[in-house]
Amino acid sequence: MSWGTARVLTDRHACRYLGGVLVSGFGTAAMLLVSGIWVKELSGSSSLAALVTLGVWAPTLVGPLLGLLADRFRRRPLLIVLHAVMAALLPVLLLVDSATRVWLIFVVMTAYGISFVLSDAAEAALVPAVVSGPLLGDFNGLRTTINEGMKLLAPLAGAGLFAAYGAHPVVLLDAATFVLAGIVFWSLRVREQPPGRPERWSRQLADGWGHLRRHRALRHIVGCAALTMVLMGLNGAVAYAVVDAGLGQPPEFNGVLATVQGVGSLLGGLAAGSLLRRFGDRRVVAGAVAVFAVGLALRATTSVGLVVAGGLAVGLGVPLVLVTVWTAVQRETPGELVGRVASTVNTLTFGPSTVALLAGASLLELVDHRLILLAAAVAAVPLALWSLRTPPTPPSGPDAPVSVRPAERAG
């Protein structure tokens, strides 16, 4: 454990915040899995079950607009309200008892997706008020570790509850975790910068895009992350082909590979803070993309051991890229812009991966999955080299981007 990680864990504000992430993440991971299984069981349609996930992630496409809302309010009260609303909305799913009411699941899960985008934008702006600047990388790494850990444990608990008692206990569990997380955020004592004077939404939206346009270094890292997630989308599109055609294993073996990838993400999250301090943003991204490239190539083999090692490498590399981007946004963006810039970055980062996943699934009908993985691995090599490129020096003067100074913590 690095000294930065230890300092985060000994800070009561940061620990309290991470506790809220842990509680909320457990209920969320369980509910996301069970919602799809629930739709499949009630409707018998695999397509409808898959559309639940689309409903959750679709609001990301309008992330900049939702991030604008996050910048119009104080972030801590906004998080409390969002958690309270979801805790009140989830019990509506207790009315679902047949295929005719499956539409309620889609409505609630779409609301879930909207709350995700708003919460991410609000948290991106709130974290610098909770954690000092030098520890942002450690905090974001720990947050990633917790989220990935919940993705390993919570789905098992959710599936077990669903198998034994049905979906309703999982709904109540998730609602309870929203209540607990809301209480955690209510208990935080932080000094936030007051929101700026409301302006026309078009002007506020342009300010978020403008910050990225002017800040060359931040724009460069975001571009690297977006291209990395394009390759990750291709990797996700061939996941079942890797197991079936590549290894000759049943579909359930994807669970093993997902677990191994999750372990890689845990390790990457724990190492993120110290790596960023020692090597800086560009070299961490370059190294992470290089590890990702190796992982993609290994997943193109027919050896179980090598494919497992490839999953570990993919899990290690991609979260390091994302943690670097999140930390850079929090560090290099003025407080009044963080919400809309963070949501814009999320849209730019994760939007292309959705398109790449659909494209990869189409390509899979025409070419062998190994060619797709090897092409992605080859493409990752120049991306790693491009990550090392030093952006031009930002302009001086009134239009130059300004780094945010974390707000002082109360107490």
Least confident of 170-184, 226-240, 278-292, 384-398: 384-398
Tens digits of residue pLDDT in 237-251? 888 788 888 898 876
pLDDT given at position 411: 32
DSSP secondary structure string for all residues of 255-292: HHHHHHHHHHHHHHHHHHHHHHHHHHHHHHHHHHHHHH
Query: CB–CB of 36/53 below 8 Å?
Result: yes
The arithmetic mean of pLDDT across residues 196-217, rounded, is 70
Q: What is the pLDDT of residue 380?
A: 97
Fold: same for 1-188 and 200-393: yes
The values of phi and psi at residue 301, to 5°, are: -85, 175
Check pLDDT > 90 for residue 321. Answer: yes
How many Cβ atoms from other residues are within 10 Å of residue 11's Cβ? 18
Rounded to 5 degrees, φ, ψ at 42 are -75, -40
Q: How many helices (H) and strands (E) does the chain have?
A: 15, 0
Q: For residues 364-372, give the mean pLDDT.
A: 89
Contact 288, 375 (CB under 8 A): no
Q: What is the pLDDT of residue 182?
A: 92
**Which range in 28-37, 189-198, 284-293 is most confidently predicted, on average pLDDT?**
284-293
Mean pLDDT of 314-337: 87
Exposed/middle/buried for residue 202 (C-beta within 10 Å: 0-12, 13-18, 19+): exposed
What local confidence, expressed as pLDDT, does residue 200 receive? Answer: 60
Please report, for the chain, the start and end positions of each structural domain, with discontinuous segments joined by +. Answer: 1-188, 200-393
Q: Is the pLDDT of residue 187 over 80?
A: yes
Q: What is the model's pLDDT at position 171?
A: 94
Q: Using the 8-state DSSP alphabet, how is residue 167 labeled?
A: S
What confidence tens digit (pLDDT) does each residue in 41-68 have?
888 875 577 677 767 877 877 777 777 7
In the chain, % of residues over pLDDT 90: 29
DSSP 8-state class, residue 367? S
Most confidently predicted of 162-166, 303-307, 397-401: 303-307
pLDDT for 69 equals 77
* 75 or 284: which leads in pLDDT: 284
Q: How far apart are CA 338 and CA 265, in angstroms?
A: 25
pLDDT tens string 253-287 = 776 787 788 889 888 888 888 898 889 999 999 99
> Identity (one letter) of the amino acid at 97?
D
The count of other CB atoms within 10 Å of the CB of residue 248 is 10
Neighbours of 257 (CB within 10 A): 23
The DSSP secondary structure of 7-48, one letter per residue, reads: HHHT-HHHHHHHHHHHHHHHHHHHHHHHHHHHHHHHH--HHH
Tokens standing for residue 37: 């299984």
- Residue 23: Cβ-neighbour burial (10 angstroms; 0-12, 13-18, 19+): buried
pLDDT band at 391, cuts 50/70/90?
Answer: low
Which pLDDT score is estimated for 195? 63
Q: Look at residue 400 and tell me whether its pLDDT is greater than 70.
A: no
Mean pLDDT of the chain: 82
Structure confidence at residue 18 (pLDDT)? 86
Pick the more confident residue, 104 or 131: 104
Q: What is the pLDDT of residue 47?
A: 56
**What CATH number has the domain spanning 1-188?**
1.20.1250.20
Quick check: pTM over 0.85? no
- pLDDT attached to residue 85: 95
| Residue 344 backbone phi and psi in degrees, to 5 | -65, -40
For the chain, percent of residues with pLDDT exceeding 70 = 87
Provide the residue count of the chain.
411
Closest CA to 66 of 201, 213, 221: 201
Please give the CATH topology (third level) of the domain spanning 200-393.
Growth Hormone; Chain: A; (1.20.1250)
167-185 tens-digit pLDDT: 999 999 999 999 999 999 8
The strand pairing partners of 190, in sequence order, are 409
